[in-house]
Amino acid sequence: PKDFTVPERDNQVHCFEDGSNCKADGSAPKPRPASRRSELLSREEADKLGVVTRGNSSAESSHEQLPVPVGGFPAGFSWCNKDGVNYCTASLNQHIPQY
């Protein structure tokens, strides 16, 4: 073909992603950037912020603090038949990547 849409039109050897094997511009390869600081808090940092470790599993659930509704809880419940209306949807595997 006459024209190419890639920068390596006349280049027979493709460059590595970091450009370390490309000598076209005559400059040395750029140094790799310093590694990023982790965004995860250490246990000590979390404690300083007042985070209770495993706080959701060691305390009483807020659901237990809800009052019992007037007339009590229903014997059976399904979102697939709530007052004659089906609120259920098809269960799709959402863990399959979509490309």
Q: Are 32 and 18 in contact (CB under 8 A)?
A: yes
Q: Are 65 and 59 in contact (CB under 8 A)?
A: no
pLDDT for res 35: 85
Q: What span, in angstroms and rounded, lies between the C-alpha atoms of 81 and 28?
A: 68
Over residues 47-74, the pLDDT tens digits come to: 999 988 877 666 677 888 889 989 988 8
pLDDT for res 36: 83
Identify residue 99 by its one-letter amino acid code. Answer: Y
Average pLDDT, the chain: 77
Average of pLDDT values for 92-97? 70
pLDDT for res 46: 92
Per the listing, tokens 């000590």 go with 44
Q: What span, in angstroms and rounded, lies between the C-alpha atoms of 67 and 70?
A: 9
pLDDT for res 49: 93
